[in-house]
Amino acid sequence: MEYKISNAKILYKNSFLEGEVWIKDGKIFKVSKSLEKDLPSMNAKGMLLLPGLIDPHVHLRDSLYSYKEDFDSGTSAALAGGYTIVLDMPNTNPPVDSYERLMERKEKAKGRINCDVGFYSLVYPELDLFPDAIGYKVYLHKGDWNVENLRKVLKKFINFKRILAFHAEELDYNLDKYDVFLHSEIHDERAEIKAVKKILDLTKDYNVAVHFCHISTPQALEEIYYSKLKGLNVSLELTPHHLLLDDTYFNLGNIALVEPPLRPLEYVIALREALYKGKVDMIGSDHAPHSLEEKFSDKPLPGFPNLEITFPLLNSLMKDNLID
């Protein structure tokens, strides 16, 4: 089957052009301002035509969290948002913390996903690594992550070609009950900056690829960026909510609770400037849906369902020349 997509704004070789795309046997055959061949046409006037987006950070629920979302609905949301590849985080229920659990999750996903999915695993000092995981993740604010245990994990990745990702927060304390305001005090900027500095300092001793998830403070971002300039193999992501929302939204109540929390407006502006200047490697939606009952409980769960809205919202920022 052959047809063409006409009148779209096409992202081609790092710029937009208005033209036509020739589709042949389900694949892009040719891109041109005007195709010579007469083909059945799909009019895409007013639309953007982009390569499929990649989201490096999603929490597809399923299993015991299927009441929040399942593989089908989550990956349908991804496609609706323009994503053709998403990377699934391992803090599922049950958690992906072994080879067997990873294989179980992959098996459950068979025939129930609508885009490509890569699956992360948790990592612990005693875990034997396996290449079947797309990457590994440490939640630094959960578990006993002292320097000795971090060194044990970093050593495992010296000759192992997978990303080691960090939720980089070191908390001084935690509580059984809290609201969005108290949560932001527990997860303050110092928690992120302290954790990022700790990981960067340890990474200097190991030639491994380290990724920092959902950075929310300009101070931590600059630490990572300048470490990369000095030769460390590190990367970072920003989320749409930390680029769009500030802590005045706490007035909405626990629906605004996310981890790391929303930050002051000056931080939001600084993160946008860093993105504009090319200091940011990628955007991760940190898609994390919950039920309304969970969001408004005595211990509300952090997270926003972002897959469908991330690109449209960031595109609005681009139109306003607030990011590039």
Per-residue pLDDT tens over the stretch 55-114 = 999 999 999 999 999 999 999 999 999 999 999 999 999 999 999 999 999 999 999 999
Nearest Cα neighbor of 81 from 312, 318, 324 is 312
Asked whether the beta carbons of 155 and 124 are under 8 A apart, the reply is no
Beta carbons within 8 Å of 221's beta carbon, 6+ residues apart: 215, 236, 238, 270, 271, 274, 279, 280
The mean per-residue pLDDT over the stretch 311-323 comes to: 85
- Sign, Cα dihedral of 296, 297, 303, 306: negative
**322 pLDDT more than 80:** no
- Asked whether the predicted pLDDT for residue 320 surpasses 90, the reply is no
Secondary structure string (H, E, C) spanning the chain: CEEEEEEEEEEECCEEEEEEEEEECCEEEEEECCCCCCCCEEECCCCEECCCEEEEEECCCECCECCCCCHHHHHHHHHHCCEEEEEECCCCCCCCCCHHHHHHHHHHHCCCCCCEEEEEEECCCCCCCCCCCCEEEEECCCCCCCHHHHHHHHHHCCCCCCEEEEECCCCCCCCCCCCHHHHHHHCCHHHHHHHHHHHHHHHCCCCCCEEECCCCCHHHHHHHHHHHHCCCCEEEEECHHHHHCCHHHHHHCHHHCCCCCCCCHHHHHHHHHHHHCCCCCEECCCECCCCHHHHCCCCCCCCECCCCCHHHHHHHHHHCCCCC
Q: Which residue has the tokens 């300009």?
A: 218
- Could you give the CA distance from residue 84 to residue 323 in angstroms, rounded to a whole number? 23
Is the pLDDT at 174 greater than 80, yes or no?
A: no
Provide φ and ψ at 225, rounded to 5°: -60, -45
263-277 confidence digits (pLDDT tens): 999 999 999 999 999
The domain spans of the chain are: 2-43, 55-319
Residue 122's pLDDT band (cuts 50, 70, 90): very high
Average pLDDT over residues 213-237: 99
User: Between 111 and 47, where is the model more confident?
Assistant: 111
Query: How confident is residue 172, by pLDDT bands cut at 50, 70 and 90?
Result: confident
- Mark 20-53 as b/e (b = at least 16 C-beta within 10 Å): bbbbeeeeeeebeeebeeebeeeebeeeebeeeb
Active site residues: 286
Residue pointed to by tokens 């597809």 = 60
- Which pLDDT value is given to residue 124? 96
Class (C level, CATH) for 55-319:
alpha beta
pLDDT bracket for residue 36 (50, 70, 90): confident
- Please report where in the chains the tokens 């245990």 appear, as a residue: 149
pLDDT of the residue at 104: 99
